[in-house]
Structure 1
């Protein structure tokens, strides 16, 4: 479990799910970070080709829109399977893990892309992991990283540029375990909702995933602060 000391969440030895499920999800976090990193530059470049005059703020808005669309389609796809008589509910539950991984990938890609727009380096694995988990996990993780960085807004800059790597290792291990616990509960609940028949699962899948995406976007705004006014080299 996590405890609060002086208003800040701190790890204890019992945080996070144990056993095979917890291990699989922790490995999923590592895989998502490695898999999405190479796609970041290409995603931003594609947006800027379509909108050559787009400001950093406009690119971040587009990234958010693409992220919401991706997770909405993922949620709708799982819910749509439940419409099929007899087989649908079973199929929807069976694909829940795939949908959860796709949702995680979308969140990781969005977070790393926003970091790229802010010109923050994310090539160092420990720093990259801290930023992504701080954004995706939400309030408790933000509090821990804000305390470490010494500021409540724009803490991602300190994580990428200033904080010693040694101070991030134990925190990252805790954040991964805590993320796995929360993610399993949240995605498990959504999986059951998406499995409801008669089209109800579609609505639950879409609205549930969109709620998660909006929370991640708000966390990113807190982590990165205001977007730069211009692109590097064009100021």
Structure 2
């Protein structure tokens, strides 16, 4: 895969081009994205409603903060669980590596649920599969997603409403293809490094797994803040 450099807001970012990574892992991840999008979407309204039920007076901003805390906790626990297996002598390292794929997909599920839940708080429509895919991939890709979105929507920030409401459908196919290529490559590199770190013995893997996933979650949260803009002042 190759990249073109483009300048966005005074920074040089990479524009995804070329073909997606090939092989079984790339295929599995692309299918994992589709599965997560389908599986998590029906859970979104209930996820947000559960937080509001616990705190009926919570503002949209407070609910989004609660969603972020739950998301970070979920991925930290997931990452730490794989690292905890490596504590077991001999068997643990092998088991940790063997479960790395499942842990990566669990982190992906959590990222999809978080992104769609924030869209729910912002009252943005996510029923259309192509728009939903573009929204989620644009957020989880991070800084490179901002580059792509500026090219397609004319906005590197606050682009979520354009994607879910008014972006012409003809642009969504090429947009999603580009985002998927970039996402697969970055996710494979990051999760491969984390898988090796989680397999370290003596409890080191537990820390690496938890902290590594937490860093990833914080990056997704920052990307979501840029994509969605300020929370609504009141519930719609």
TM-score normalised by the shorter chain: which range applies? over 0.9
Aligned position for 2:58: 54
Match of residue 76 from structure 2: 72
Q: Is contact 1:8–1:144 with CA below 8 Å preserved after alignment?
A: no
Cross-structure match for 1:13? 18
**Structure 1: distance between partners of 2:83 and 2:18:** 37
CA distance in 2 between partners of 1:22 and 1:74 (Å): 21
Tell me, yes or no, if structure 1 residue 137 matches structure 2 residue 138. Answer: no
Structure 1 position 137, deviation (Å): 0.6
Mark the runs of 5 or more structure 2 residues left unpaired by the alignment: none
Aligned partner of residue 168 in structure 1, secondary structure: helix
Asked if 1:122 is matched to 2:123, the reply is no
Aligned with residue 170 of structure 1, among 171, 174, 178: 174
How far apart are the structure 2 equivalents of 1:69 and 1:60? Answer: 14
Structure 2 residue aligned with 1:201, among 195, 199, 205?
A: 205
Question: Taking structure 2 as the reference length, what is the TM-score of the superposition?
Answer: 0.95
* Structural mapping, 1:144-159, within 5 Å: 144-159=148-163
Alpha-carbon deviations, 1:63-116, whole Å to 9, x = none? 000000000100110000000111000000000000000000000000000001
How far does the alpha carbon of each residue in 1:103-135 deviate from its partner, in whole angstroms, 9 at most, with x for none?
000000000000010000011111111110111
The structural deviation recorded for 1:146 is 2.5
Give the aligned partner of residue 38 of structure 1.
Answer: 42
Structure 1's unaligned 5+ residue stretches are none
State the 4+ residue runs in structure 1 displaced beyond 3 angstroms.
5-11
1:212 and 2:216 correspond = yes
Structure 1 CA distance for aligned equivalents of residues 13 and 189 of structure 2: 22
Is 2:15–2:147's contact at 8 Å kept on the other side of the alignment? Answer: no
Give me the whole-angstrom Cα distance separating, in 2, the residues matched to 1:194 and 1:119.
Answer: 38
- Give me the TM-score of the superposition, normalised by structure 1: 0.95
1: CA distance, partners of 2:137 / 2:221: 13
Report how far residue 8 of structure 1 moved. Answer: 6.0
Alpha-carbon contact 1:9-1:141 (below 8 Å) kept: no
Question: Are 1:97 and 2:98 an aligned pair?
Answer: no
Supply the distance in 1 between the matched residues of 2:139 and 2:73 (Cα, whole angstroms): 19
Q: When the two structures are aligned, how many residues end up with a matched partner? A: 231
The whole-number CA distance in structure 2 between the counterparts of 1:181 and 1:64 is 25
Distance in 2 between residues matched to 1:61 and 1:5, nearest whole Å:
32
Taking the aligned partners of 1:177 and 1:220, their CA distance within structure 2 comes to 20
**Corresponding residue number in structure 2 for 1:4:** 5
Partner-residue secondary structure (3-state), 1:38: helix
